[in-house]
Structure 1
Amino acid sequence: MNLRHLKYFVATAESGQVSRAANALNISQSSVTGAIKELEATVDSELFHRSSQGMELTDSGREFLAASREILEKVDEAKKLTKRRSKVNGQITLAATYTVLGYFLPFHVDKLAQLHPGLDIQINELNRESIEDGLLSNRFDLAFVLTSNLSNPDLEAETLLKSTRRLWVPNGHPFLQSGKASFQDIAQEDYIMLTVDEAAHTTMKYWSKTNYQPKTKLRTSSVEACRSMVANGQGVAILSDMVYRPWSLEGKRLETVLTDLDIPTMDVGIAWRKGVEFTPAMNLFVDYFKASFVSPQMAQFSVRK
């Protein structure tokens, strides 16, 4: 057993599918499948129930998942202790929308605190319009937003992540058999409409390009409500991979399916006011995200004036 086995196992357990785990790890599906088989042979126990819908943890698998996460967290902590810490000091006033703050930023804020203890990041959760106003009035240095929603020409933005939108369905839904769902068929299902961060507006934009309309059963600002409603068989929803988790709060499973028409990705990135002078702390912050999400040959981010 080695750390690679544990890493691949955890990724598969959290995503519920070998293909999604392979995409997240940027490796082949055969590598993930082989590692899991080796791990099961090593621990002499079946860790997953395999089906056409994906990979579901066995009772042994659930116990092993908790131990695997603990081991990987300890290793990560040990690595942090050996890294040279930055001597840059300074404060950054950061704004973020609900979705970005809830499903993207916390991991990276923690990592930045470990690598750069002198960096003081003050975070404010606001909607897009308030964030744009705050950047233009210099109340915020930087903002993490859905860059696909930005509209003010006096702001600049750097998109770091493009998250694919897929159809969420309950475990065992007929759409899973075909592996793809048409908008004509989706329109026959009850639809759970997320409203936070202009999600409803974005949803109707791509629905308007079809000849159909969603049969909306519930409009909600809660991603967790969407997840639970779908998992309980109360409807379907089209949401991004960034907010997807295979289990509802009640412990019920949900799956994702591609659609027959291309749906715009949910784009996440950093925004700032045009012409703003970047401090060393701001440069350090942006460089971290550029190095984490942009290809190596583009990871260098020049000092901004």
Structure 2
Amino acid sequence: MRPTLRQLEYIVAVADTGQIGLAAAQLNVSQPSLSAQLSEVEADLGAPLFQRGRSGAKITPVGEDVVRRARQILHEHKDLRAAAQGGGIFQGRLRLGVLPSIGPYLLPGVVQRLHREHPHFRLIVREESTRDLDEGLRSGRLDMIISTPEDHPGAQSTHLFTEQLWAALALDHPLRSPQGTLPLNALSGQTLLTLGSGHRLSHIVAGLAASAGGRVSDEYEGTSLDAIRLMAATGAGVAILPSIYAATERRRGTDVRLHLINDPAASRALALVQPNLPQPRPGSDVLADVLQSEAARILAAPDGAISVQN
């Protein structure tokens, strides 16, 4: 049967690297052999998958669809073997995409536990914006993602937890309150700091600004939560931060005052999202449980000020 699974691996490797030579080295085959196999596949399918040139191998529109389907077939084959061996996703490699506003704070404990309990499991993590995560999931570049489920219609989502949003104020900001909470209308007239427009968080913050009568800064778009927190510390505005990051900051001591925004709209839901296959990938429920328990551990503040909703 052609293309063979090995040939599908060749196609995906060339698409990922953009270079036949690099793909050959990655797969430990000779470049002439890989090139010949690629030509054979294109002849069998009756269409060119790549445009070869001095600059590399550029994928064609037909090639994009073939590569997407090749990834899905390879994933299904890997799941078949994993199901037969009884370990599901933990029998091999999982490419997990995650929002940069959650990954560095949630995943360290998760990775440590998974490597301890599943020593042969290889987790590859990619931090990307919401838009790039969606592209990665649709193209097959990523196996699963941790993201806001409303941004990935048609995919399978397993709810993990809901984060509340916090306002980070400069230490001398007039809005600081001993109660530790702020009503949404307290942000009236304030400049809110958030991540760039490719992130769902920025859309949530824009909605909060509109409801409160504030404005989102058009002079500064943060590339990380650390960056917008530092800007808030200088008095440049009010940074809007999700709970897991806020909990991390509280524990290590911070240069801003954190106040929970007391409004139902000041929240975001996170989910484990995967392609819409007939059945979820074996073991994904175990991964979801580990993610949920680690989030609950991080958010279990001694004073109860930071909480998580499962």
Alignment correspondent of 1:198: 200
What is the alpha-carbon distance in structure 1 between the residues aligned to residue 292 and residue 236 of structure 2? 40
Alignment of 1:247-266 (within 5 A): 253-259=255-261, 261-266=263-268
Aligned residue among 95, 98, 107 for 2:97: 95
User: Could you tell me the TM-score, scaled by structure 1's length?
Assistant: 0.56
Does the residue aligned with 1:188 lie in a helix, a strand or coil? Answer: coil
Number of equivalent positions: 206
Alignment correspondent of 1:140: 142
Cα gap change, 1:93 to 1:277, in 2 (>3 Å): farther
Alignment correspondent of 1:221: 223
Alignment correspondent of 2:188: 187
Cα gap change, 1:238 to 1:275, in 2 (>3 Å): same
Alignment correspondent of 2:273: 271
What is the alpha-carbon distance in structure 1 between the residues aligned to residue 268 and residue 261 of structure 2? 15
Residues 103-144 of structure 1: per-residue CA shift (max 9 Å, x gap): 222220121111110211122233323332333343332211
User: Could you tell me the TM-score, scaled by structure 2's length?
Assistant: 0.55
Is 1:155 the equivalent of 2:168? Answer: no
What one-letter code is carried by the residue in structure 1 that aligns with 2:258?
A: T
What one-letter code is carried by the residue in structure 2 that aligns with 1:239?
A: L
Q: Percent identity?
A: 17
Residues 133-187 of structure 1: per-residue CA shift (max 9 Å, x gap): 333343332211133x4242x2011121211102111224332336344555423
Q: Tell me how far 1:223 sits from its aligned partner.
A: 1.3
What is the alpha-carbon distance in structure 1 between the residues aligned to residue 135 and residue 128 of structure 2? 11
What is the alpha-carbon distance in structure 1 between the residues aligned to residue 209 and residue 272 of structure 2? 28
What one-letter code is carried by the residue in structure 2 that aligns with 1:131?
A: L
What is the alpha-carbon distance in structure 1 between the residues aligned to residue 166 and residue 254 of structure 2? 19
Does the residue aligned with 1:218 lie in a helix, a strand or coil? Answer: coil
Alignment correspondent of 1:285: 287
**Highest CA radius of gyration, 1 or 2?**
2
Alignment correspondent of 2:176: 176
What is the alpha-carbon distance in structure 2 between the residues aligned to residue 199 and residue 282 of structure 1? 25
Counterpart contact for 1:96–1:143, Cα < 8 Å:
yes
Does the residue aligned with 1:165 lie in a helix, a strand or coil? Answer: strand
| Structure 1 unaligned residues grouped into runs of 5+ | 1-85, 295-305
Measured on the aligned residues, the alpha-carbon RMSD in Å equals 3.3
Does the residue aligned with 1:206 lie in a helix, a strand or coil? Answer: helix
Cα gap change, 1:124 to 1:112, in 2 (>3 Å): same
Cα gap change, 1:92 to 1:209, in 2 (>3 Å): same
What is the alpha-carbon distance in structure 2 between the residues aligned to residue 215 and residue 137 of structure 1? 33
Cα gap change, 1:276 to 1:98, in 2 (>3 Å): farther
Is 1:167 the equivalent of 2:182? Answer: no
Counterpart contact for 2:163–2:242, Cα < 8 Å:
yes
What is the alpha-carbon distance in structure 2 between the residues aligned to residue 109 and residue 122 of structure 1? 10
Q: Tell me how far 1:272 sits from its aligned partner.
A: 0.9
What one-letter code is carried by the residue in structure 2 that aligns with 1:106?
A: P
Q: Tell me how far 1:91 sits from its aligned partner.
A: 2.0
What is the alpha-carbon distance in structure 2 between the residues aligned to residue 186 and residue 118 of structure 1? 49
Residues 249-290 of structure 1: per-residue CA shift (max 9 Å, x gap): 9x8621122345433312222001122544545454345335
Counterpart contact for 1:119–1:281, Cα < 8 Å:
no
Alignment of 1:58-73 (within 5 A): none
Cα gap change, 1:289 to 1:220, in 2 (>3 Å): closer
What one-letter code is carried by the residue in structure 2 that aligns with 1:101?
A: G
What one-letter code is carried by the residue in structure 2 that aligns with 1:220?
A: G
Residues 65-114 of structure 1: per-residue CA shift (max 9 Å, x gap): xxxxxxxxxxxxxxxxxxxxx89522222222222322222220121111
What is the alpha-carbon distance in structure 1 between the residues aligned to residue 194 and residue 290 of structure 2? 34
Q: Mean Cα displacement is larger for which, 264-273 or 200-209?
A: 200-209
